[in-house]
């Protein structure tokens, strides 16, 4: 806790570690300054103490003197990555109580499973749920002040929602994930099933074969087994320093009888709970706050890891949002600068379908990837930065050397540049994102004719009906943050293209699942709903994409572009009421991280 004369960050430039950005309000500023003392000191707060006794948080009034730690879980059986978080949450509460803390235990709602929400209207709620989760955590801690907190998440938007809350509230905090799912039978995973839908549509797989695949690809708890968005963000949390070593790679489960598909929650993951409790001691004792950890340099570290392992394109969206929440100006083009000096040393499903996150853990985990980059020596990886356990160097330099298969270095690296890129051109003056690690070499340059669709649903129907052919560039628009609203993921159409074996590209102002592979460019900014060039592309227009040169252009003149823009009708929001209506009114472009206009 800070000295009595500290403002708690409300000045935006003070001793308390909150000098990156002014506190969101005076209540949070006071929590930064006084923590649990707000509700645990003074005669006037004895009614609150009485309620704490009733809730079982304290046993007697004198317990108020002890520090309070809040555990914020996201347990739900609607998401396999969260179905076991009740086990981890209960063990976390026990571990913290054993260390002498008063422990509040809360659970946030609004957690969305992208794989279940995919392919119907519900996907529009996924990205907005990130903001809901951050706001819920602000509400919980603003109303029930504590001295530190632990966020337990795993999948999709819950992870960035919790990380954003950490920098917004800016009291000592640690993030703990539930860990990745084990691969299914014959090395399958969720993406195998999605691509199976495309194979079925083209007659390459029977319905019975597809049902059998769906019944065997996802068999344990955990975030889906590949380097998709959830696992990418859980790994990045390690590199940033808000999570412990092993957070991103220790599997959620272990087989007790694989033949009978019997499993248990991984004891190694349970052990990590105890380590988090010890790390809470460390960050509280040393008053280490998220603003001490999340810096320009630690975000560079995160993106270097992302580029090295070819993570999800959604990490760009979420890391930019984290920077914005922390008050850090992080330029999108910085990714291209880092990519130029960061080799792609690791490929995991979907880029390499036979390798999963459990394989990365087997050969040393995230520390081994970072060590490979450090030894390469070109990328500005900083191992001296503060983390929630000390510094990155403490565990990176003790990691095993690259195994030569899952993690490859030198001339054997998959590419000498990173696995993500930002493309610019007249279609995307403010950028678009592509996972180059998932693009075949012969598709890095592609010229094709446009097939335009004003929704994901229309595009998917056309692909499954065979209306998209080799040489097309599928253009899906009005699916951006405002236009969607909610920036739906395009896993269904991209998987359908892959499953049908169509040699084409796809561009969109929406976004992609971490499971997407192929020449798929998302986050195109400005989006169609804001009058971006993507709105004026017509069927038959020639689009040229050069992922190596980082360019994408429609082959029409600037004059023609402007003439077409003048004829665009005024965009009318698709949804005007409820949460999505409010979201559409206040969300900003993808190149900002699709944050709200008051972030």
- Report pLDDT for 198: 84
3-class state of residue 582 by DSSP: helix
CB 317 within 8 A of CB 511: yes
From the candidates 126, 351, 513, 589, which is the catalytic residue? 513
* Long-range CB pairs of 594-597, under 8 A, 24+ apart, other chains included: 594/127, 594/317, 594/321, 594/481, 594/487, 595/131, 595/320, 595/321, 595/324, 595/325, 596/131
What is the rounded distance in angstroms from the CA atom of residue 281 to the CA atom of residue 283? 6
Position 463 scores a pLDDT of 94
- The residue count of the chain comes to 599
- From 383, 406, 436, select the one nearest 547 (Cα to Cα): 436
Judge whether 445 and 423 are in contact, CB under 8 Å: no
Residue 492 confidence (pLDDT): 84
- Residue of 573, 472, 473, 574 whose CA lies nearest to 524: 473
Determine the Cα–Cα distance for residues 145 and 35; give it in Å rounded to an integer: 6
CA distances to 226, 365, 438 from 412, in Å: 22, 19, 17
- CA–CA distance, 535 with 529 (Å, rounded to integer): 8
What span, in angstroms and rounded, lies between the C-alpha atoms of 31 and 189?
A: 43
How far CA 67 is from CA of 88, 101, 146, 475, in Å, comes to 21, 6, 8, 54
| Reported CATH class of domain 67-182+220-396 | alpha beta
Q: Given this structure, which CATH class describes domain 425-592?
A: alpha beta
Q: Annotated catalytic, 349?
A: no
pLDDT in tens, the chain (599 residues): 344 444 444 444 444 444 458 999 999 999 999 999 999 999 999 999 999 999 999 999 999 999 999 999 999 999 999 999 999 999 999 999 999 999 999 999 999 999 999 888 999 999 999 999 999 999 999 999 999 999 999 998 999 999 999 999 999 999 999 999 999 999 999 989 988 988 998 899 999 999 999 999 999 999 999 999 999 999 999 999 999 999 999 999 999 999 999 999 999 999 999 999 999 999 999 999 999 999 999 999 999 999 999 888 899 999 999 999 999 999 999 999 999 999 999 999 999 999 999 999 999 999 999 999 999 999 999 999 999 999 999 889 999 999 999 999 999 999 999 999 999 999 999 999 999 988 999 999 999 999 999 999 999 999 999 999 999 999 999 999 999 999 988 888 888 898 889 999 999 999 987 777 889 999 999 999 999 999 999 999 999 999 999 999 999 999 999 999 999 999 999 999 999 999 999 999 999 999 999 98
Q: Alpha-carbon distance 592 to 562, whole Å?
A: 25
Q: Which of 71, 73, 60 is nearest to 93 (CA)?
A: 71
Residue 421 in 3-state DSSP?
strand
| DSSP secondary structure of 135-199 | HHHHHHHHHS--SEEEEEE-STTHHHHHHHHHHHH-SSEEEEE--BPPP-GGG--HHHHHHHHHH
The pLDDT of residue 14 is 44
- Closest Cα to residue 238, out of 361, 328, 144, 140? 361
Domain range annotation of the chain? 67-182+220-396, 185-219, 425-592
Q: Cβ distance 303 to 338 under 8 Å?
A: yes
Which residues are CB-neighbours of 189 under 8 A, at least 6 positions away?
A: 181, 183, 217, 218, 224, 225, 226, 349, 353, 356
Rounded to 5°, angle at Cα 131 from 86 and 512: 90
132 Cβ partners below 8 Å, 6+ apart? 110, 161, 579
Q: Give the integer Cα–Cα distance in Å for 77 and 330.
A: 36
Encode burial over 57-82: b for 16+ CB neighbours within 10 A, e otherwise: bbeeeebbeebbbbbbbbbbeebbbb
What's the pLDDT score for residue 394?
Answer: 85
CB proximity list for 139: less than 8 A, separation 6 or greater: none
For 475, phi then psi, to 5°, come to -110, 115
Give Cα separations from 577 to 573, 580, 594 (angstroms).
10, 7, 20
| CA 77 vs CA 86, 119, 514: distances in Å | 10, 20, 22
Q: What is the CA radius of gyration of the chain?
A: 24
Rounded to whole angstroms, the Cα distance separating 44 from 346 reads 57
Please give the Cα distance from 286 to 278 (Å, whole number): 13
């Amino acid at each position: 806790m800070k000295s009595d004369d500290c403002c708690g960050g409300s000045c935006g430039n003070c001793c308390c570690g909150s000098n990156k950005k002014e506190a969101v309000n005076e209540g949070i500023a006071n929590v930064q300054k006084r923590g649990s003392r707000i509700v645990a000191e003074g005669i006037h707060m004895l009614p609150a103490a009485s309620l704490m006794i009733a809730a079982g948080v304290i046993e007697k009034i004198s317990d108020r003197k002890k520090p309070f730690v809040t555990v914020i879980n996201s347990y739900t059986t609607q998401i396999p990555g969260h179905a076991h978080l009740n086990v981890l949450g209960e063990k976390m509460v026990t571990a913290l109580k054993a260390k002498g803390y008063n422990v509040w235990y809360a659970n946030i709602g609004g957690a969305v499973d992208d794989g279940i929400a995919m392919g119907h209207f519900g996907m529009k709620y996924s990205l907005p749920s990130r903001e809901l989760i951050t706001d819920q955590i602000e509400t919980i801690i603003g109303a029930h002040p504590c001295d530190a907190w632990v966020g337990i998440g795993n999948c999709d938007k819950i992870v960035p929602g919790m990380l954003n809350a950490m920098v917004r509230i800016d009291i000592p905090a640690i993030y703990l994930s539930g860990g990745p799912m084990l691969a299914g039978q014959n090395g399958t995973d969720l993406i195998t099933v999605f691509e199976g839908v495309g194979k079925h549509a083209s007659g390459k797989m029977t319905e019975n074969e597809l049902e059998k695949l769906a019944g065997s690809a996802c068999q344990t708890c955990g975030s889906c087994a590949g380097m998709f968005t959830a696992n990418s963000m859980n790994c990045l949390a390690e590199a940033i320093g808000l999570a412990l070593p092993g957070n991103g790679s220790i599997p959620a489960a272990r087989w007790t009888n694989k033949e009978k598909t019997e499993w248990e929650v991984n004891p190694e993951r349970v052990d990590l709970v105890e380590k988090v409790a010890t790390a809470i001691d460390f960050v509280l004792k040393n008053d280490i706050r998220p603003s001490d950890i999340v810096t320009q340099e630690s975000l560079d570290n995160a993106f270097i890891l992302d580029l090295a392992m070819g993570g999800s394109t959604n990490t760009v969206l979420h890391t930019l949002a984290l920077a914005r929440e922390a008050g850090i100006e992080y330029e999108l083009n910085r990714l291209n600068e880092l990519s130029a000096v960061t080799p792609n040393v690791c490929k995991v499903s979907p880029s390499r379908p036979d390798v999963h996150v459990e394989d990365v853990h087997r050969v040393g985990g995230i520390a081994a990837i970072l060590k490979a980059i450090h030894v390469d020596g070109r990328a500005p990886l900083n191992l001296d930065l503060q983390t929630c356990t000390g510094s990155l160097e403490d565990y990176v330099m003790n990691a095993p050397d690259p195994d030569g298969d899952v993690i490859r270095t030198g001339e054997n690296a998959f590419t000498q540049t990173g696995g993500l890129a930002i493309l610019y051109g007249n279609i995307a003056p403010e950028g678009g994102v592509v996972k180059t690690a998932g693009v075949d070499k012969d598709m890095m340059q592609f010229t094709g004719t446009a097939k335009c669709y004003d929704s994901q649903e229309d595009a998917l129907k056309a692909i499954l009906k065979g209306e998209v052919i080799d040489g097309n560039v599928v253009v899906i628009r009005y699916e951006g943050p405002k236009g969607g609203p909610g920036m739906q993921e395009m896993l269904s159409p991209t998987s359908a293209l892959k499953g049908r074996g169509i040699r084409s590209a796809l561009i969109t102002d929406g976004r992609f699942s971490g499971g997407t592979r192929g020449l798929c460019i998302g986050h195109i900014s400005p989006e169609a709903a804001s009058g971006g060039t993507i709105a004026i592309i017509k069927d038959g227009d020639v689009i040229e994409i050069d992922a190596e040169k980082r360019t994408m252009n429609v082959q029409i003149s600037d004059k023609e572009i402007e003439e077409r823009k003048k004829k665009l009708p005024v965009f009318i929001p698709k949804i005007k009421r409820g949460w999505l209506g409010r979201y559409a009114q206040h969300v900003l472009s993808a190149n900002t991280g699709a944050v709200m206009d008051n972030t």
